[in-house]
C-alpha cells in the first residue's frame, strides 16, 4: 500500500445508516390470460387484469409490466396490427382511465408466426388508500381476411414503491 492510499475501515464499506428508512415495496403478479382476435374485428378484448392495494403507501408509484406471446395465423390480407393499452379503475371511480401510451404489435401482410410482446409503463398518479384494478385491453387496428391473432401467456405484474423524497432507499 502506498502512502497516498486511503485506509478503509469496516464502516466505510457499509451503507450509511444515518439516512436509512424502511420503504414499502409490493410485487404482485397477475394470472395468465389469453384471447383470440380475428383480423376482421375491431372489438376491444381484455386479455389480463391485476388488482393492487396501495393503502400502505403514502405516495405510490407503480411500474406495470405486460408480457405475452402472440401467434398470428396466415390469411391476414392487409397485415395485422394489435393495439395494447393499460387502463385502471380505482376506488370511487366510475370510468377506467388509460395509463401510459398504447403499444402496437405489427405483423406484415400474410405472414404467420409467433412473437413475444412486452412493454411497461409507470403509474405515479394514484392516491394512497386506493385499491386499483389494472386491465390490459387489446384492439385490432388493422388487417383483413381470415387470419387471426392469438394472445397467450398474457401476464401483468406490478411493482409498487413509495415515491417520496423522505424515503432513503
Q: Domain holding 84: CATH number?
A: 2.60.120
**pLDDT for position 160:** 92
Q: Is residue 62 part of a domain?
A: yes
Q: Is residue 46 part of a domain?
A: yes
What's the Rg (C-alpha) of the chain?
A: 22
Q: Is residue 4 part of a domain?
A: no
**pLDDT for position 59:** 83
Q: Is residue 3 part of a domain?
A: no
Q: Is residue 168 part of a domain?
A: no
Domain of 40? Answer: 24-162
The number of distinct structural domains making up the chain is 1
Q: Per the structure block, which three cell numbers stand in for 44? A: 376491444
Contacts of residue 163, defined as CB under 8 A and 6 or more positions apart, other chains included, come to: 59, 60, 61, 124
- Give the SS3 label for residue 148: strand
**pLDDT for position 168:** 45
Backbone angles phi, psi at 78, to 5 degrees: -125, 30
d(CA 35, CA 117): 14
Write down the pTM of the prediction: 0.79
Please report, in tens digits, the pLDDT of each residue of the chain (169 residues total): 454 545 544 444 455 544 445 678 889 998 899 998 877 778 899 999 999 998 888 888 899 999 999 988 766 556 678 899 999 998 888 899 999 999 999 876 666 778 899 999 999 887 656 789 999 999 988 666 666 788 999 999 999 998 765 544 4
Q: Is residue 30 part of a domain?
A: yes
**pLDDT for position 135:** 96
Q: Is residue 61 part of a domain?
A: yes
Count helices and strands in the chain by DSSP H and E runs: 1, 9
Q: Is residue 34 part of a domain?
A: yes
d(CA 42, CA 21): 49
Amino acid at each position: 500500500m502506498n502512502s497516498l492510499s486511503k485506509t478503509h475501515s469496516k464502516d466505510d464499506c457499509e451503507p450509511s445508516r444515518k439516512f436509512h428508512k424502511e420503504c414499502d415495496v409490493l410485487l404482485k403478479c397477475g394470472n395468465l390470460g389469453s384471447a383470440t382476435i380475428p383480423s376482421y374485428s375491431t372489438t376491444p378484448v381484455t386479455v389480463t387484469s391485476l388488482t393492487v392495494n396501495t393503502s400502505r403507501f403514502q405516495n405510490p408509484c407503480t411500474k406495470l409490466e405486460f408480457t405475452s406471446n402472440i401467434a398470428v395465423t396466415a390469411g391476414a390480407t392487409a397485415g395485422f396490427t394489435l393495439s395494447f393499452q393499460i387502463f385502471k379503475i380505482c376506488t370511487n371511480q366510475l370510468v377506467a382511465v388509460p395509463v401510459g401510451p398504447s403499444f402496437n404489435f405489427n405483423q406484415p401482410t400474410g405472414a404467420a408466426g409467433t412473437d413475444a410482446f412486452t412493454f411497461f409503463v409507470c403509474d405515479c398518479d394514484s392516491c394512497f388508500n386506493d385499491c386499483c384494478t389494472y386491465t390490459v385491453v387489446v384492439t385490432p387496428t388493422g388487417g383483413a381476411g381470415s387470419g387471426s391473432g392469438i394472445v397467450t401467456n398474457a401476464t401483468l405484474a406490478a411493482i409498487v414503491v413509495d415515491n417520496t423524497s423522505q424515503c432513503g432507499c
